[in-house]
Amino acid sequence: MTKLDKERWEQIRAKGYERFLLRTVIRAGLPFAILMTLSRALWPVVRHRPVEPVWQLAVEFEFYGLFFGVWMGTFTWRCRQRDYNRPTEDDDAP
């Protein structure tokens, strides 16, 4: 991580972990949930089988979105924090 990357991460980190998780849920979890829900709804149609009830698809949509988004957010936060704490060549420069 360069000095510029560290400055950007400091700005993101200053806004808080919860905000970072929320943004990750929106950016990563929502598209994943849409993809998974559509595939679970369209696959039975292609195979000429009955589709699951709408309430079940809605619950799965929420589960996929939150689970994947929070998982990705936590993983990304930890990786960036680990890289932030490592010394870089830019740190030695005056």
pLDDT per residue as tens digits for the range 30-56: 999 999 999 988 998 898 999 889 999
DSSP character at residue 53: P
Structure tokens at 27: 């950016």
Does the pLDDT of residue 27 top 80, yes or no? yes
| pTM, full prediction | 0.78
Residue that wins the pLDDT comparison between 3 and 93 = 3
Q: What integer pLDDT is reported at residue 90 of this predicted model?
A: 64
Total domain count, the chain: 1
* The CA-based dihedral angle spanning residues 37, 42, 47, 51, taken in that order and rounded to the nearest 10 degrees: 70
Look up the domain containing 32 and give its range: 3-92
What confidence category does residue 74 fall into, taking pLDDT thresholds of 50, 70 and 90?
A: very high
Confidence at residue 93, expressed as pLDDT on a 0 to 100 scale: 56
